[in-house]
Chains A and B, each alone.
Chain A
C-alpha cells in the first residue's frame, strides 16, 4: 500500500525546434502518494505543464518523451504500467486518459466546447470509459453536477458553457474529470483565471472531493498562497529541473534553495512593512529612470481626477428569438478621487463594474449620468464636455495599461513603431527626436535599445507588459489607468512590474488608478483603496486602515479569501462556503441594500468610508 500512485523517474521531454532539440523537462523525478496532493510549483516556462501533459501523453506534436519512466500503480486494476513506454494512441493509454487519470485546465471558458451542452460534455467522459446506458449516464451526470455544487443540476444539463460564470464552468470541468472516479486528478492552474472568492471555493471543493474519493491530486500552480493552503507535498521546478522537494512544512518553514527563497520574497503579502519592497528574481536596472524627473508643469491644487456620481446601465436581451430586455446597472453612483502623485486601487470581483469605470474615465464610453473631472493645473473640467484641442490634451494626459500583454500589442508592428505611434498620432517631434524618445522609453522600462527592431512575439509576457508601459509613457501622461496590469504575469515578473510602476511614479510624478482583483497586489501598490461590488463602491479607505479594520462584510470576505503564502494563516474555508457576500440584498444589517436602493456612504474614521443601507443610515441620524 505504500507504493506511490505515480512515480516519475528521470523524465526528459524534448521539443523539436528549428534550431535543434530543446530539453523542456530535464531528469525530473517525483512521487505522488495515494490520497495526497502534490503541488508542482514554478514560473511559466519551467516545464510544469509539459510534465502534466507527458503523464497523459497529450504533448503537442513538437514534443516527445525522450527518456525516463512514469510508473502508474493502480490499486483498482492492480496493474503497474509505465506510461512513458505506452503509445500515445494505444488502447491502454485511451483507457487511462480520462478514466484513471483526469485533468482540469486553467481557462474554464476555452477548455469547454461552446457548441455542446455541459451535460453532453460531462456524460461523454463517462460513456467513453464505462458501459452505461443513456439513462444511467444522465443520472450520474446529474449526480456529478449536484456534487460539484450546481444549484439546479437538471437544468444545467442543457446549458452551454458561455451561459455560466467562470466559477461554475470550472465546477463543470471538475465534474467532467471526476465522473469516472479517477485515481489521479491533474489540476493545471485550476484557479488562476478565477476571482479570489471563487478560487477559495474551488480549492475547497477539490479538497472535499479528495477526502471523499481518496484520489491523489497533482496541482500545478505558480501561486505560493494556493500551495500553502492545499498541498501536502511541494515540488519546485525551474527550467525543467526539480530545485527542491519536500513536505509543505519543510518547504515553507525552511526553504533551502536560493531560487525558492527568491520566489518567496517576490510574493506580496499583507503583513509587509509599509516601506518594504518586493525582491523580484531579476530586478530592472535603468540609468534613465534613476535620473528621470517629472516634466515641468503646473500641478493641480486639488485631486487630478475626480469621479462624481457616475452611473452606467447595460441592456441585455435574454435570447435571440425573444424580445425580453433586462437592464443591468454596471456602475451605480460611483464617487472616486485621485490626488496627484498617488495611487488609487479599485478592487472587486470580475463583473463588478471596475473596468467600466476605467473605460468611462478614458472617455471610451459615455455614462448615463455623472461627471469625470480632470484638473490639468488650470482647474477641474468635465471630461465629457471637452472638445477639440482640450480633448486632445486630455487624451495625452491620461493613458491606459492593459491586462493582456499578448493582445494589447500589434503583432505586425516593431517595437519602434509601437513606441513612436503615440508621437506620430499627436504629431510630436522630428523622426530623430522620436527615435531618441523611443530608446529613452525602452531604457526606462529596463529593455535594451536593440529591441527596437524586434516584433512583440519575441518577448516574454513580462517584457511585453513593460513595452505596454513604455508606450503609455510616450506622451508624458499625468495619469495612468492600469487595468489588471499584472494578473496575467508570474509572481516573480509581477514583482518586477510592480516595482517598476512604483519607481516610475516617484520619478515622474504620475498618478495611478490601479484596477485589480488581487488584494495583496493592490495593498502593495496603492495608497487608497476602494472596494467595488455589483456596481457600488462599498468601502473606501487608506490602505492601512482598510486592511487593519475592514468593516464591510464584502471586504471581509474578499480579504478572507486571499490565500497567504504562510502556513500559519490558512484560509477559513468554512467561512467562505456561504455564497452570500456578493449579493447586496443578503448583506447583514446595517449594510443590507434592498432592490434598487443605493444606500449612503458613511465616514467611520478619517478617510474610511463604508456604504450603509439607507434605512440603517436614517436610524443612525
Chain B
C-alpha cells in the first residue's frame, strides 16, 4: 500500500512537471508579452514615466531573458533576479494586469470556485441518482419517458442561455439580482455570518444552471449502467434469497453501477472550472474562470500559468482519489492487477 502510494506520488510529480512546461510554453507562444505590449502602447501615447516602470518590471521579472530561463525561474529551480522564488517556493508571481501579486488576485476566487463546483457536484449526484434508479427500474414507463425528455432538454440547453433567462425573470418577478455570489454590499467585507448567508442564497442559481447539463448526462449514463446490471444473474440470486427488491437493488446492481462514476472524479474537477466560464461571466460570479479568460487574452503570464497549474494539480489529485476509492470499493481492482 505504502509502496503503491509512493509510486503514485512520484508519477504525479513527473506529470505536473511536464504539464508546467507545456502550460508555460503555450502561454509564451504568441509573440511578445504583457509588458512589451504595454510599453508599445505607452510609447504611442508618449508617457515616459510609465515606460520606466514597465522596463523596471521587465528587468525585475526577467522577461528579457530566453523563455527556458524564464520557465526555470518560474517553477523555482533557477535563481532569478530575487534568488530562488518560484512555484516550488510558494511564490506564485506577479499579475501585471492587476498590478498585484497573483495570490491577491486569485485569493477568494479560488476558494469560491471550489465551493461552487463542490455544490454543483453534490447537486448532480443528489438529483440524478434517484431519478436514474427510478428510470432504470421502470424502463419504458411514463415516468421514465418524462425523465428522459427532461434530461434531453437539460442536455440541449446551453447553460449560459439558461443563466440569462433566470437572471431576467428573477429580476422581473422577484425584483432580486441573482448575479454575483453575495450582495454587493459585502464585496470587500471580511467573512461574517450575514455574508455567508448571502453567499448561500446566491449559490442556488449558479448551482442549478451549471449542474443541469451534468445532471442530464449523468441520468442517462447511470440509467444505462444500471439497466445492464439489472439483467445480471447475481441480482436474481439476491431476489431468490428473499431480499426485498429495494434492498437487493441498492446492495448489488447499484453498487456495481457506481464504478464508472468514481473513475470519473478525476475528470470532473478540471472540467467544472473551465466548463463554467461562460455562466460565471453571465452571472458575474467572482470565480477563477473569467479571471483565467482575461489573463490568457492579455498574456498575463504568471496569473494564467498559476491558474492552469492549479487546475492540473486538482486533476492529478482527483485521479489519485478516484483510484483509491475504486480500489477500496471494488475488490477485483484491489486484488487483481498483474497478468
B338 and A112 within 8 A (CB): no
Complex Cα gap A271–B255 (Å): 51
Neighbouring A residues of B338 by C-beta, 8 Å: 315-317, 320, 325
Find chain B residues with CB under 8 A from A97 CB.
239-242
Q: Which residue of B lies closest to A52 (CB)?
A: B240
What are the residues of chain A within 8 A of B256 when measuring CB–CB?
Answer: 113, 115
Inter-chain contacts of B335 with A (CB < 8 A): 160, 162-163, 319-320
Give complex CA distance A97, B3 in Å. Answer: 47
Cβ of B192 under 8 Å from chain A: no
Shortest CB-to-CB span from A178 to chain B, Å, is 12
Check if A115 sits within 8 Å of B240, measured CB to CB.
Answer: no
Judge if A89 is at the interface, Cβ distance under 8 Å.
yes
Bound-state Cα–Cα, A438 to B255, Å? 46
Which candidate, B162-170, B197-205, B230-238, B294-302, is the interface stretch facing chain A? B230-238
B336 located at the interface, meaning its Cβ lies under 8 Å from any Cβ of chain A in the complex: yes
The A-contacting residues of B in range 292-339, CB under 8 angstroms, are: 327, 329-339
A182 to B: closest C-beta gap in Å: 10
Interface check A480, CB cutoff 8 A: no
Q: Is the CB of A58 within 8 A of B233?
A: no
Residues of A within 8 A of B331 (CB): 114-115, 117, 160, 162
B29 interface hit (Cβ, 8 Å)? no
Q: Which residues of A contact B241 (CB under 8 A)?
A: 97-98, 102, 124-125, 128, 176
Q: A89-B244, A124-B243, A320-B4 are in contact. Are A112 and B333 (CB under 8 A)?
A: no
Question: Is A321 touching B242 in the complex (CB atoms < 8 A)?
Answer: no
Residues in B neighbouring A20, C-beta threshold 8 A = none
Q: Please give, as numbers and ranges, the residues of chain A lying within 8 Å of B252 by CB-CB distance.
A: 113, 115-116
**Is the CB–CB distance between B332 and A162 below 8 Å?**
yes
A321-B255 in contact given A94-B244, A98-B241 (Cβ < 8 Å): no
Q: Does B1 contact A (CB under 8 A)?
A: yes
Beta-carbon contact of A89 and B240 below 8 Å: no
Total B residues in contact with A, Cβ cutoff 8 Å: 32
Q: Does B245 contact A (CB under 8 A)?
A: yes
Query: Smallest Cβ distance from A387 to chain B, in angstroms?
Result: 27
CB <8 Å contact, A103 and B4: no
Chain B 106-132 interface residues, beta-carbon cutoff 8 Å to A: none
Q: How many Å lie between the Cα of A173 and that of B332 in the bound state?
A: 19
Q: Once the chains bind, are A107 and B332 in contact (CB under 8 Å)?
A: no
Candidates B238, B239, B337, B339; contact of A113 at CB < 8 Å = B238
Are A111 and B3 within 8 A (Cβ)?
Answer: no
A129 on interface, CB distance cutoff 8 Å: yes
Given contacts A128-B243, A319-B335, contact A115 B236 (CB under 8 A): no
Q: Which residues of B contact A317 (CB under 8 A)?
A: 337-338
On whether the beta carbons of A320 and B255 are closer than 8 Å, the reply is: no
* Pairwise interchain contact B1-A321, C-beta atoms closer than 8 A: yes
- A348 interfacial contact with B, CB 8 Å: no
Question: Are A320 and B243 in contact (CB-based, < 8 A)?
Answer: no
Q: A125, B333: Cβ atoms under 8 Å?
A: no
Question: Across the interface, do A107 and B233 meet the contact criterion of CB distance under 8 Å?
Answer: yes
- Nearest A-chain residue to B235, judged by Cβ: A113
Q: Is A99 engaged at the interface, CB distance under 8 Å to the other chain?
A: yes
* CB of A110 within 8 Å of the partner chain: yes
Alpha-carbon distance between A111 and B233 when the two chains are bound, in angstroms = 5
Q: Does A95 contact B (CB under 8 A)?
A: yes
Contacts of B243 in A (CB 8 A): 98, 124, 128
Contact between A56 and B1, CB atoms less than 8 A apart: no
The docked-state distance in angstroms from the alpha carbon of A129 to that of B331 is 28
Residues of B within 8 A of A319 (CB): 334-335, 337
Does A388 interact with chain B (Cβ within 8 Å)? Answer: no
Give bound CA distance, A115 to B336, whole Å. Answer: 13
Separation of A321 and B245 alpha carbons in the complex (Å): 36
Contacting pair B242 A129 (CB below 8 A): yes
Contact check, A99 vs B242: say whether CB atoms are below 8 A apart. yes
A596: Cβ under 8 A from any B Cβ: no
CB distance from B237 to the nearest CB of A (A): 5
Q: How far is the CB of A141 from chain B (nearest CB, A)?
A: 13
- Give complex CA distance A119, B1 in Å: 25
Verify B236–A114 contact, CB threshold 8 A.
no
Residues of B within 8 A of A314 (CB): 339
CB–CB A89/B242 < 8 A: no
Contact of A320 among B238, B336, B339 (CB under 8 A): B336
Proximity string of chain B (1-22) to chain A, C-beta cutoff 8 Å, 1 when within and 0 when not: 1011000000000000000000
Flag whether A252 is at the interface (Cβ < 8 A). no
Inter-chain contact B242/A94, CB cutoff 8 Å: yes
Name B's A-contacting residues (CB within 8 A).
Answer: 1, 3-4, 232-234, 236-245, 251-252, 255-256, 327, 329-339
Could you list 22 examples of A-B contacts with CB < 8 Å? Answer: A56-B240, A58-B236, A94-B244, A95-B242, A97-B239, A97-B242, A107-B233, A110-B232, A110-B233, A111-B236, A113-B256, A114-B234, A115-B330, A116-B251, A124-B241, A163-B335, A173-B237, A319-B335, A320-B336, A321-B1, A321-B334, A323-B3
Q: Name A residues whose Cβ lies closer than 8 Å to a Cβ of B.
A: 56, 58, 89, 94-99, 102-103, 105, 107, 110-117, 124-125, 128-129, 160, 162-163, 173, 176, 314-317, 319-321, 323, 325
Inter-chain pairs besides A97-B241, A113-B237, A160-B335, 12 sampled, C-beta below 8 Å: A97-B239, A97-B242, A98-B241, A107-B233, A110-B233, A124-B243, A128-B242, A162-B335, A316-B338, A319-B337, A320-B333, A321-B1
